[in-house]
Structure 1
Amino acid sequence: MRQRHIMSSVDNCFPPASRDDWVAAVEKMLRNASVDSLRRHDEDGLIIDALYDGGSAQLAGDMATSVRRLSQDPAQRVAFGWDVRQPLHISGDVKAINQCIIDDVEQGATSLWLRADKDEQIDFGRLFDGIMLPAVGVHLDSGASTYQLVDRFIAHIDGDISKANLHAGLDPFVAEGDADPDVILAAGFALANRAATQIPTSIFAVNGWHWHNKGVTAVNELAIILSSVTDIMRRAMEAGIAPATIAALIEVTIALPADLYAGLAKCRAVRHGWAGIVAALGLDPDQYRLRLHAAPSLRMFSLLDQDVNILRSTTALLGGALGNADALTGFAHDILTGESVRGRRLARMTQLLMIEESGIAKAIDPAGGSGFIEARADDLAKAAWATFQTLESQGGASSCYKDNVFADLAREGQAKANARLVTGDAKFLGVTLQPDMVPVADIVTGGWGADGALIVRPAQIIEDFRRKALARQPRIICLLPSGTMDQPLQSLKKDSDQLCAIGGLSVITLVVGDDTARDIRAAKPDVVIYIGNTLEAIADLRADMSALMPDIIFVAAADITGESSLIDALDLLLGKQTDA
């Protein structure tokens, strides 16, 4: 009989290795280059190293509270998983929307994130027909007018909040920028002063997700959240509401990037900040844990190769799951063009697979002890706390909101994100990396991604160029030198092809030869790209063609692939000269 080899405890162990051993091993693989050569920086300039020491995190200074890793109700999360919160834009055919809600709930959604346009008149009776409201969480979101939507919902349930699992969703500092914080705060405090059985499950929803989609970086998103929470707490105390009461009625929403580790660190970092605030108010952070909702970023979505949005959402949701979020929202990958039933179901099933088959929710703190995650969370928490202190010195959230400090942070972040894409520092799968030639679809009017002021997507820069290129349809020839191309020229050709693919530009390839002039005359191109560092090798051809066809633009591949601006290079291929 064949015997199985069972590894002994000695066979199953790795020999101990010091940090120096690891550094030596890495530098050997790098052919003696320093391990620091692998160091990179995130969008806030925070360092991301290749090697980290193990151990638990210790925050210092104003953040001298123990690290908070737990969800608000760990036992509930372990037993049943997180709240699968389905997003839905309320507009149009109420009967169709009602059917969507029924399908969502029957197929795994445990709560609803209902987004309504300002002044949208909703027939709640028809909207929730066939839905047992106490069994399904209802989270309302209508920007600055959410408090009015809440009033209409409460009227629908005859003023008896016990008939529903209501999350009021009031954000005094909404990203739309048109709110009156005083009015929204007053509406929230009025709800908090109701009888105990008539208080919503949560009242205030501090929504960093909306600010992220307007452009703010991770550090500034968390700082805005902490400043907003502090202002709500401060104003509640002035209104005679105890910190313990209002702390239990606040929910925070953060955006999850495609980088799952960045999202995981963000979940932990925002809890660090929350712990610092509630501890300063004399509350035990372990007793008043943060209710955390997380949703994939929509500013990372693209109209180009929309299936890639599935990958982005999946890794983003995984970061939130491993970060112990209490609730997660998944968006359909085709939400920008009018979400399909398949897209909605796929986004929801991704979470259910994580809960039911992967068992992620069964682990209390799956990332605990990882040197990388602990350090990243610490760095992010410290930076966010420092920026939060700066906002406090400027008067706090109310003043910063009214003085457009938050809006300025969004504009600055948007400009930096756009610059990273244009300069090529940020790689965007399906957009600037491995792009396809499929025409750009149109964004639906209405819906989550329709408002370009609220969802500012860097990919739109390339999408807009693609539309411009489609309208103009320039004729482009790629002219190869005769003979065998060496490796540098092959790389130039590859980079040139990649640039044209990014712009959605079709190219005809020719090789320099006796009939090149005739072929160019027949093709009548707008632009000729010569695969070389200069145009010197085709000087005679260029002179002849310029005499016959003066509008042709000749450009060396090295000049366009070496452009500091991706858009400047693409504009040149449309037949436009750059300003440089």
Structure 2
Amino acid sequence: MTTSRPPHIDASSASLEEWQKLAEKTLKGQPLSALDHRNEDGITHGALFTAADRVEGMSDALSAQGARRWVIAQYLEPEADAAVLNRAILDEVEGGTERLIITADQNPYILPDAMDGVMADAISISFDAAENPGDAAHALTTIWANQNTPAAQARGHLGIDVIGDVLTGRSVAAVAQAKMQVWIDELMPVAAEWPELGLFTLGGMRLHSFGLTSAQELAASLSHMVALMRMMEASGQQVEDAAARIEINIAMDADLYGSITKARAARVVMDRLYQSLGLRSDELSRRMRGVTSERMMSGLDRDTNILRNGTAMLAMGLSGLGQITCLPHDWLLGSTAMSRRVARNAHHVLADEAQLSHVADPAQGSYYLDAATHDLAQAAWRLFQQIEEQGGIFAALDNGMLAGWADAADADRKARVNQGEEALLGVTIHPLRGVVETGGTAISGTAINCLNGRSGLRGGPRRPAAPWEGLRLEFQEAMPRCLMVDVGGNGGSAASASRWFNAVGIDGAVMTARDAADARSIIASARPDVLVLGGDDEQIDDDELEGIAAVLPAAIFAADQDADMHAVFRAILESLMDASGGTPPDRNTTGQGVTS
């Protein structure tokens, strides 16, 4: 018979200070602040939250919107043939999709012919930044007219996002602002005949793919909403009807708690804006759609995106969003029927098997999530006010404010990845082994050809995995031989650098040398293209490095775990090319270069 060890303290009467002392023992002298986490918006949270951190009214406000099963909203890939598009539509509807989303590259005029066997009153048909919203509206009304769909049961959305058009390079701020007014004037009369026809989308997905942080994305969406409401009111529209024609989408990534916080904060700030406009927020959740992030995806190891999507989907299910979209895991390069089926099934697992849709606010009661939601909502509101002080969303686009935010956030993300503070599954850790197949339309030479259509480059211009994936393909062209040598038998710093070499597709041999002389002998025998040298710094000074480099055909890399690893590998690649006259290294060519 075994007995458990008694607790260190009496948990029933322990004070917070006593718990903190126990925690600090495990930190080996470090303070509890060593566990603090700082997100990309600069908001710092500690490791422990108590009732003292509870934000009064936060969870109550979120729960008040009620529990409901979310709407399954999924994208269709563009098709030139109506029969092929019809098969894809039937697959979605039979698989449980309730809202079909048509991409900007789809010719809307073939949609009515692609609805054979599909009951228009049983689904919602929406567009994602259609090139011509007037054509999209005509396609929808034709479908409804063909099937004699009652106006009250005709559900659709035009997805007009003029801000997204600017972000993706399809327009400029002044033109986009003018177009917004044009579409209000032309399409609000059409919408008056169809009460369930939405018009405008606050495109958080495109703001996210552009590179903005969570708070910045929410702030820009708020400013977009204000611009729309001002124009619609000026055009004589009632506030309630104007708001009913606007929905918001939010990008959700694989940061589980960060995404839960973001979705809840979006509901908080939108509720605050609704209240300032004198609107009821009962239907707010129904007008919010979460979308799994395309910016977080890998273009090389696409199967790892299933894991990313799963985490983002869980976050959305725990956030009370009214509509949810799971992008297929091969979305960047063009999805298939199978990947779209996998994406659909993610909904059913969470909603039907896990029954996450039965609770209004599953995160309620978490001191951490309530506090984090409050902090993010406050940060987003402050940034929203900054945008408005600049003159609104169009001014912020025109003067480069949003682009500056995106550039700074992107630089910070890349620095964290390049210095190993943040790992990208399938990219910088556990990458695909062996040669990546190239030569097709998706991956050719040293380029991953993410689809780039009217709605912009899939994944956006600042996708964190893109620089490393490009580097991987460039090294695959070079195919260098790599040797990793630790001198002195201590430290293992060269061997520990192997994961970075795996990230660019290089499997290096790892050896240990007794001293610098032994290292030179090993290197002279192996004659690698790339050398990783680590171990005892006292045994290798600058002269030794130069001496070792003299026997190398190309490059030397002194292991430094604090370096910008992407810059290191870029320098290695350039050294290899210089040594071989701009072509992949020839095993019989000699030359040298030093990178440290």
TM-score (norm. length: structure 2): 0.83
**Structure 2 matches for 1:39-58, cutoff 5 A?**
39-54=36-51, 56-58=54-56
User: How far off its partner does 1:522 sit?
Assistant: 5.5
User: How far off its partner does 1:470 sit?
Assistant: 0.8
**Of 56, 67, 90, which aligns to 1:102?**
90
**Of 443, 462, 472, which aligns to 2:478?**
472
- Aligned residue for 2:586? none
Q: Distance in 1 between matches of 2:472 and 2:284?
A: 50
The superposition leaves residues 218-276 of structure 1 with CA deviations (integer Å, 9 ceiling, x where unpaired) of 01000001101111111111111111111222110000010121111111111111122
Q: Is residue 140–residue 150 contact of structure 1 (8 Å, CA) maintained in 2?
A: no
Q: Decide whether aligned partners of structure 1 residues 338 and 35 sit closer, same or farther in structure 2, where only a CA change above 3 A counts.
A: same
User: How far off its partner does 1:335 sit?
Assistant: 2.1
- Aligned residue for 2:555? 553
Q: Distance in 2 between matches of 1:269 and 1:474?
A: 48
User: How far off its partner does 1:334 sit?
Assistant: 2.0
- Aligned residue for 2:429? 433
**Structure 2 matches for 1:269-280, cutoff 5 A?**
269-280=265-276
Tell me whether 326-335 or 21-30 shows the greater mean CA deviation. Answer: 21-30
User: How far off its partner does 1:579 sit?
Assistant: 8.8
**Structure 2 matches for 1:330-479, cutoff 5 A?**
330-440=326-436, 442=443, 443=448, 446=451, 451=457, 454=460, 456-479=462-485
Q: Is residue 476–residue 526 contact of structure 1 (8 Å, CA) maintained in 2?
A: yes
* 3-state SS, counterpart of residue 69 of structure 1: helix
Q: Decide whether aligned partners of structure 1 residues 527 and 578 sit closer, same or farther in structure 2, where only a CA change above 3 A counts.
A: closer
Q: Decide whether aligned partners of structure 1 residues 522 and 145 sit closer, same or farther in structure 2, where only a CA change above 3 A counts.
A: farther
Q: Distance in 1 between matches of 2:479 and 2:324?
A: 43
Q: Distance in 2 between matches of 1:419 and 1:538?
A: 28
- Aligned residue for 2:507? 506
User: Which amino acid is the alignment partner of residue 168 of structure 2?
Assistant: E
Q: Decide whether aligned partners of structure 1 residues 57 and 186 sit closer, same or farther in structure 2, where only a CA change above 3 A counts.
A: farther
User: Does 2:156 match 1:166?
Assistant: yes
Q: Distance in 2 between matches of 1:453 and 1:406?
A: 18
The superposition leaves residues 532-560 of structure 1 with CA deviations (integer Å, 9 ceiling, x where unpaired) of 2448459999777666x464434433x4x
- Aligned residue for 2:530? 527
**Structure 2 matches for 1:32-43, cutoff 5 A?**
32-43=29-40
- Aligned residue for 1:310? 306
Q: Distance in 1 between matches of 2:185 and 2:315?
A: 33
User: Which amino acid is the alignment partner of residue 338 of structure 1?
Assistant: G
**Of 103, 114, 119, which aligns to 1:115?**
103
* Identical columns (%): 28
Q: Distance in 2 between matches of 1:515 and 1:173?
A: 62
- Aligned residue for 2:128? 141
**Of 241, 244, 249, which aligns to 1:245?**
241
Q: Decide whether aligned partners of structure 1 residues 445 and 27 sit closer, same or farther in structure 2, where only a CA change above 3 A counts.
A: closer
Q: CA RMSD in A?
A: 3.2
Q: Is residue 338–residue 444 contact of structure 1 (8 Å, CA) maintained in 2?
A: no
Gaps of 5+ in 2: 1-9, 438-442, 576-592
User: Which amino acid is the alignment partner of residue 111 of structure 2?
Assistant: F
- Aligned residue for 1:6? none
TM-score (norm. length: structure 1): 0.85
Q: Decide whether aligned partners of structure 1 residues 426 and 555 sit closer, same or farther in structure 2, where only a CA change above 3 A counts.
A: closer
User: Which amino acid is the alignment partner of residue 531 of structure 1?
Assistant: G
Q: Decide whether aligned partners of structure 1 residues 555 and 107 sit closer, same or farther in structure 2, where only a CA change above 3 A counts.
A: closer
Q: Decide whether aligned partners of structure 1 residues 515 and 365 sit closer, same or farther in structure 2, where only a CA change above 3 A counts.
A: closer
* 3-state SS, counterpart of residue 531 of structure 1: strand
User: How far off its partner does 1:497 sit?
Assistant: 1.2
Q: Decide whether aligned partners of structure 1 residues 84 and 519 sit closer, same or farther in structure 2, where only a CA change above 3 A counts.
A: same
User: Which amino acid is the alignment partner of residue 292 of structure 2?
Assistant: P
Q: Decide whether aligned partners of structure 1 residues 93 and 115 sit closer, same or farther in structure 2, where only a CA change above 3 A counts.
A: same
The superposition leaves residues 496-550 of structure 1 with CA deviations (integer Å, 9 ceiling, x where unpaired) of 2112112211313445489976764564322222332448459999777666x46
User: Which amino acid is the alignment partner of residue 178 of structure 1?
Assistant: R
User: Which amino acid is the alignment partner of residue 95 of structure 1?
Assistant: A
User: Which amino acid is the alignment partner of residue 260 of structure 1?
Assistant: L
Q: Distance in 2 between matches of 1:217 and 1:20?
A: 35
Q: Distance in 2 between matches of 1:295 and 1:248?
A: 20
Q: Is residue 210–residue 406 contact of structure 2 (8 Å, CA) maintained in 1?
A: yes
Q: Is residue 256–residue 295 contact of structure 1 (8 Å, CA) maintained in 2?
A: yes
Q: Distance in 1 between matches of 2:472 and 2:289?
A: 35
The superposition leaves residues 34-70 of structure 1 with CA deviations (integer Å, 9 ceiling, x where unpaired) of 21110010011111211112364248xxxxx996415
User: Which amino acid is the alignment partner of residue 532 of structure 1?
Assistant: G
**Structure 2 matches for 1:170-209, cutoff 5 A?**
170-174=160-164, 175-179=167-171, 180-194=176-190, 196-209=192-205
* 3-state SS, counterpart of residue 335 of structure 2: coil
Q: Distance in 2 between matches of 1:367 and 1:239?
A: 40
* 3-state SS, counterpart of residue 87 of structure 2: helix
Q: Decide whether aligned partners of structure 1 residues 167 and 481 sit closer, same or farther in structure 2, where only a CA change above 3 A counts.
A: same
Q: Decide whether aligned partners of structure 1 residues 404 and 92 sit closer, same or farther in structure 2, where only a CA change above 3 A counts.
A: farther
Q: Distance in 2 between matches of 1:110 and 1:287?
A: 18
Q: Decide whether aligned partners of structure 1 residues 107 and 14 sit closer, same or farther in structure 2, where only a CA change above 3 A counts.
A: farther
Q: Decide whether aligned partners of structure 1 residues 528 and 413 sit closer, same or farther in structure 2, where only a CA change above 3 A counts.
A: closer
User: Does 2:72 match 1:89?
Assistant: no
- Aligned residue for 1:568? 567
Q: Decide whether aligned partners of structure 1 residues 555 and 367 sit closer, same or farther in structure 2, where only a CA change above 3 A counts.
A: closer
User: How far off its partner does 1:462 sit?
Assistant: 0.5
The superposition leaves residues 296-329 of structure 1 with CA deviations (integer Å, 9 ceiling, x where unpaired) of 1111101243222111111101111111010111
Q: Decide whether aligned partners of structure 1 residues 123 and 420 sit closer, same or farther in structure 2, where only a CA change above 3 A counts.
A: same
**Of 1, 17, 20, which aligns to 1:20?**
17
Q: Distance in 2 between matches of 1:287 and 1:458?
A: 35
Q: Is residue 226–residue 274 contact of structure 1 (8 Å, CA) maintained in 2?
A: yes
User: How far off its partner does 1:156 sit?
Assistant: 5.0
Q: Decide whether aligned partners of structure 1 residues 22 and 98 sit closer, same or farther in structure 2, where only a CA change above 3 A counts.
A: farther
Q: Is residue 154–residue 197 contact of structure 2 (8 Å, CA) maintained in 1?
A: no
User: How far off its partner does 1:332 sit?
Assistant: 1.6
Q: Distance in 1 between matches of 2:273 and 2:131?
A: 25
Q: Decide whether aligned partners of structure 1 residues 361 and 508 sit closer, same or farther in structure 2, where only a CA change above 3 A counts.
A: same
Q: Is residue 68–residue 268 contact of structure 1 (8 Å, CA) maintained in 2?
A: no
Q: Decide whether aligned partners of structure 1 residues 318 and 546 sit closer, same or farther in structure 2, where only a CA change above 3 A counts.
A: closer
- Aligned residue for 1:328? 324
Tell me the matched-pair count. Answer: 548
User: How far off its partner does 1:89 sit?
Assistant: 2.4
- Aligned residue for 1:218? 214
Q: Is residue 222–residue 270 contact of structure 1 (8 Å, CA) maintained in 2?
A: yes
- Aligned residue for 1:497? 498
Q: Is residue 468–residue 504 contact of structure 2 (8 Å, CA) maintained in 1?
A: yes
Q: Distance in 2 between matches of 1:56 and 1:22?
A: 19
- Aligned residue for 1:131? 118
Q: Distance in 2 between matches of 1:433 and 1:228?
A: 38
* 3-state SS, counterpart of residue 498 of structure 1: helix
Gaps of 5+ in 1: 1-12, 60-64
